[in-house]
Structure 1
Amino acid sequence: MNLRGERQMDFAYQAVYRYMINLINEVTLDSPVKLPSLRQLSTRLNVSISTIQYAYSLLEKEGRVYSVAKSGYFAWPVVVNPLIAAEGDLLERLYAAARRPGMVVLSGDEPTRLGSLDSALLTLERQLVRRHPSDLQPWSQPCGVWELRAALAARYTSSPTRCWQADDVYIGADLRGVLEILIDVLGLKGNAVIVESPCDCLILRLLQAAGVRVIEWPWQADGSLDLATLEHLLLREQVQVVLLSSVVSMPSGSAMPNHERFRVAELLDQYGCWLLENDSYGELSFTSCQTALRNLVNPERLIVFSSFEKVLGPEAPFGYVLSRHLSSALQRQFLLRAFRLSSIRQRAIARLYQSGRLDQHLETLRQRLREQAEGMSLRLDARLPGRVSYRMPVAGASFWLQSVEPVDMRLVFQRLVARQVVIAPGELFSLSGLHHQHVRLSLTFNGHPNLDIALEALAQALTQAQTD
């Protein structure tokens, strides 16, 4: 099968997507099915690996497939009943439930559901293809095209002493890919890393799969972090790397006040620790009063990672790293990975940065997210009075709810699946058994006809699953 005959190469991912949908729908087993690798599909369909990656990214966001570190992509068949495997891996069960037709999926955190730049990206790609028809895919830039690297370096530069160059930026296929490289380059296997908790389940599972000893530093109920606990951990444990969010921690939706950020920076410098900063949500704060942690810490012990997907949309799945050090090791790892990324799409993203279009988009998106959060808060107060507690998020696209009464949250999850509603239990965001009374709930459901019914179902499930 040759997909290069599509209207343009930049639309080949759509054909790959349709092919994969048909492939998944042919599955008749009732257990997870391993899907072809990126390279296998690239060879089979005669398209680039980055095109396959786009299609898989869309399928993963839709809950049709899920990925396992170092194992590849898996899919649940349409006919599977997730109630059968009530004691199985919770994340797999969540993916399976979200995969079923007719489900109200409240488990995600997808800001760009309220507005993406997918259309703008495709328009820019068409323009670039017309202008540069003979220079579509120069594969000699394994760390990303210079234009996009320079745009990111400029955006992250905040002062003459906190500046970045294009050579400090590395572009990978997705966030998973760049995180796996960072784990290797930093030599984290077998070593301890302090991570704020709750933490993104992808990050946690990658660290776990790599044999990293994860030490969780939990956010407290009042939306603060205990700095004395951090100092105690740094004093007691042999920790060289601390993984924290730049501005806002998700899914808790909390942000440290600036004076606490200064203290964290002091502690990291005092104990000689590297900051591995997660900037995935750094552009999605509802207010601009927070100072990014990277602008306070020692720049000689700083690495930043993020992706474009949370602010641009699923058409921009690339992940990226900023590091002024370890350049030889990073270049080697990116070269070995051989990410075959579309140069046209990277250049289109760069144009969004350079033209100011991204800033306009972000202003609108943040406003929509804030309004949606306010509306969801009213719904939660009306539909779940006295059943959950929460703090208003200050960024992102989700609420972090805590059950007022002790409940079996897995049972809540299971009861809701039976009523065609999917939530994300809090235990997914911890490796040490924290957050069993919490749940992440998406707020990007503007005008969804079943939202009130789904929230009423959640209220009933919380009552029925009480453990006292």
Structure 2
Amino acid sequence: MTAVRETGFAYQAVYRYLMQLMADSSDSGHTRLPSLRQLANRLNVSISTIQYAYSLLEKEGRIYSVAKSGYYARPASCTVLTGNGSDLLETVYVNARHPGMQVLSAEDPVSVQSLDRPLLLLERELLRQYPRQPQLLDQPCGEIELRTALAARYTTSPTYCWHAEDVYIGADLRGMLEILIAVLELKHATILVESPCDWVILRLLQAAEVRVIELPLQACGGLEPQRLAALLSTENVRLMLLSSGLSMPRGTQAPTDNRHAIARLLDEHGTWVLENDCYSELADAADGARLRDLLNPERLLAFSSFEKFIGIEAPYGYVLSRQWKGELQRHFLLRSFRLSPIRQKAIARLYGNGRIDQHLQVLRRLLKERRTPMIHLLRERLGDALHVVEPQGGATVWVQALRPVDMRDVFQRMLKHQVVIAPGELFSLQGLHNRHLRLNLLGHGEHDLAGAIGLLGDALRLAPLE
């Protein structure tokens, strides 16, 4: 590994190692691959480097992951799973990574344009400037240069200001959320969550035995203040999980008056807020107001990641919090995240030189240009079967069936045609959104798009009613 790393990035060497490992065991079916930590110890590289390599192999359809089990190599002759009797989310994941599948379930904005190449080029320049630092100088909560850049970006006034010591950077978003669940002692606690909600977040809360109460978003994109007020008055709510701006997978933003009403209620009840800021950079209106600028910053935590708008080479997650400093630092020390300080510096420089803002302007425009013909085609061909929720940003479209069809049946009919969709029930723990779908057609040409929509229309018409 040492010799290979001298001529390329470490993750490329790990990628080649895994390719050879899978080739050596090609006759043994779905071979289980080493865990992230096992492989990091074996090859003497960081866990984040292993994650880069695994993520690349997943995108290429060579491996797949199974929750609480690990990564597996996919045989070339692997057949499509129909999902009968199995976990729906696992079925979506496995089939989405199967070679030859048309994936309409993904949520990958940077597939349009990423910053991976500029990031790696800048990292290469920085490697010449900074010698490899001793392990003792590692910063467990993240590189100070990047923490400072993030604090500056989130600061909007003397009241709503952040400092580097308020920022914590981890290997990925999942790891950050696991730390927050532990620090906030959410096990068996009650939290309120806007719905629909990202399935990764929901599954983590479910695994941690958190009591989740879902509040459906209204047609306007906001929450119902009266219902929220009733819950805050009758339930022992530990905190509320809300989007900072753009709410995904719905792709909408709450109106200004609704946002102010919700913020006033939360302030009156002294409710802690956990703000999901993963998608606010992808909103069409780049200067849109953030929920955090209306809340008490002393009872606020915000989390996000770089991967949605930079790319796979920046998988780090981060959290901002003025409180819980001791507990957060302790958990970060226990996790012992081994993050590349040079890559973190490179991300900080992309913020500092304005490259990220330039990239975001282009990315937002490209996403909107790709969504527009997709929405037009959906309304033109399936207007009698689907209602399209007009997105205000992001890479996906949220649609609702006009008839109470069995969406699981639609899902499996599409699988038989080697097309993967994301049923709405994945975005709820309480059986909401059963008539909804999240669609992403960004990676397909005009012919594929029309064909996929035609198949979806057939599946919707043939599916039985609930």
TM bin (shorter chain): over 0.9
Match in the other structure for 1:409: 407
Contact 2:82 2:412 in 1 (8 A): no
Q: Which string of whole-angstrom CA distances, capped at 9 and with x for unpartnered residues, describes residues 326-373 of structure 1?
A: 000000000100000011111110010000000000001011111112
Structure 1 residues 93-242: aligned runs within 5 Å: 93-135=91-133, 140-242=138-240
More displaced stretch, 14-23 vs 335-344: 14-23
Query: How has the CA–CA distance of structure 1 residues 40 and 268 changed in structure 2, closer, same or farther, with 3 Å as cutoff?
Result: same
More displaced stretch, 33-42 vs 322-331: 33-42
Query: How has the CA–CA distance of structure 1 residues 333 and 448 changed in structure 2, closer, same or farther, with 3 Å as cutoff?
Result: farther
Match for residue 248 of structure 1 among 246, 249, 254? 246
Match in the other structure for 2:321: 323
Deviation of 1:18 (Å): 3.8
Partners of 2:289 and 2:27 lie apart in 1 by 52
Partners of 1:287 and 1:231 lie apart in 2 by 29
Partners of 2:296 and 2:305 lie apart in 1 by 23
Partners of 1:384 and 1:52 lie apart in 2 by 43
Contact 2:115 2:311 in 1 (8 A): yes
Q: Which string of whole-angstrom CA distances, capped at 9 and with x for unpartnered residues, describes residues 103-150 of structure 1?
A: 111101111111100000110011001122344977520111000000
More displaced stretch, 169-178 vs 86-95: 86-95
Match in the other structure for 2:67: 68
Matched, 1:345 2:343: yes
Deviation of 1:85 (Å): 4.0
Query: How has the CA–CA distance of structure 1 residues 386 and 347 changed in structure 2, closer, same or farther, with 3 Å as cutoff?
Result: same
Aligned residue for 2:343, secondary structure, equals: helix
Residue type at the aligned position of 1:122 = L
Deviation of 1:198 (Å): 0.5
Contact 2:83 2:412 in 1 (8 A): no
Partners of 1:230 and 1:79 lie apart in 2 by 51
Deviation of 1:221 (Å): 3.8
Match in the other structure for 1:332: 330
TM-score, normalisation: structure 1: 0.94
Aligned residue for 1:390, secondary structure, equals: strand
Query: How has the CA–CA distance of structure 1 residues 188 and 29 changed in structure 2, closer, same or farther, with 3 Å as cutoff?
Result: farther
Structure 2 portions without partners, runs of 5+: none
Aligned residue for 1:265, secondary structure, equals: helix
More displaced stretch, 378-387 vs 164-173: 378-387
Contact 2:65 2:94 in 1 (8 A): no
Residue type at the aligned position of 2:67 = V
Aligned residue for 2:284, secondary structure, equals: coil
Q: Which string of whole-angstrom CA distances, capped at 9 and with x for unpartnered residues, describes residues 65-116 of structure 1?
A: 23525x5445654534344542200011111211221111110111111110
Aligned residue for 1:414, secondary structure, equals: helix
Query: How has the CA–CA distance of structure 1 residues 195 and 390 changed in structure 2, closer, same or farther, with 3 Å as cutoff?
Result: same
Match for residue 50 of structure 2 among 32, 49, 52? 52
Query: How has the CA–CA distance of structure 1 residues 464 and 321 changed in structure 2, closer, same or farther, with 3 Å as cutoff?
Result: same
**What is the percentage of aligned positions where both structures have the same residue?**
56
TM-score, normalisation: structure 2: 0.94
Partners of 1:168 and 1:286 lie apart in 2 by 28
Contact 1:426 1:438 in 2 (8 A): yes
Residue type at the aligned position of 1:68 = A
Structure 1 residues 277-288: aligned runs within 5 Å: 277-288=275-286
Partners of 2:241 and 2:58 lie apart in 1 by 25
Deviation of 1:445 (Å): 2.5
Contact 1:257 1:290 in 2 (8 A): no
Match in the other structure for 1:462: 460
Contact 1:13 1:55 in 2 (8 A): yes
More displaced stretch, 266-275 vs 277-286: 266-275
Q: Which string of whole-angstrom CA distances, capped at 9 and with x for unpartnered residues, describes residues 404-443 of structure 1?
A: 1121111111111111111111111000001111110014
Matched, 1:304 2:293: no
Aligned residue for 2:5, secondary structure, equals: coil
Match in the other structure for 1:364: 362
Residue type at the aligned position of 2:64 = V
Aligned residue for 2:302, secondary structure, equals: strand
Aligned residue for 2:273, secondary structure, equals: strand
Partners of 2:233 and 2:29 lie apart in 1 by 49
Aligned residue for 1:389, secondary structure, equals: strand
Partners of 2:28 and 2:224 lie apart in 1 by 48
Deviation of 1:454 (Å): 1.1
Contact 1:168 1:322 in 2 (8 A): yes
Partners of 2:42 and 2:300 lie apart in 1 by 41
Match for residue 421 of structure 2 among 416, 420, 423? 423
Deviation of 1:37 (Å): 1.4
Match in the other structure for 1:5: 4
Aligned residue for 1:183, secondary structure, equals: helix
Q: Which string of whole-angstrom CA distances, capped at 9 and with x for unpartnered residues, describes residues 289-342 of structure 1?
A: 531011100111000000000110111000000001100000000010000001
Matched, 1:354 2:356: no
More displaced stretch, 264-273 vs 142-151: 264-273
Partners of 1:395 and 1:56 lie apart in 2 by 29
Partners of 1:294 and 1:281 lie apart in 2 by 14
Aligned residue for 1:401, secondary structure, equals: strand
Deviation of 1:58 (Å): 3.1
Partners of 1:246 and 1:240 lie apart in 2 by 19
Aligned residue for 2:282, secondary structure, equals: coil
Q: Which string of whole-angstrom CA distances, capped at 9 and with x for unpartnered residues, describes residues 231-255 of structure 1?
A: 1111111102100000011001111
Deviation of 1:267 (Å): 1.0
Query: How has the CA–CA distance of structure 1 residues 232 and 129 changed in structure 2, closer, same or farther, with 3 Å as cutoff?
Result: same
Partners of 1:448 and 1:28 lie apart in 2 by 39
Contact 2:59 2:97 in 1 (8 A): no
Partners of 2:104 and 2:77 lie apart in 1 by 21
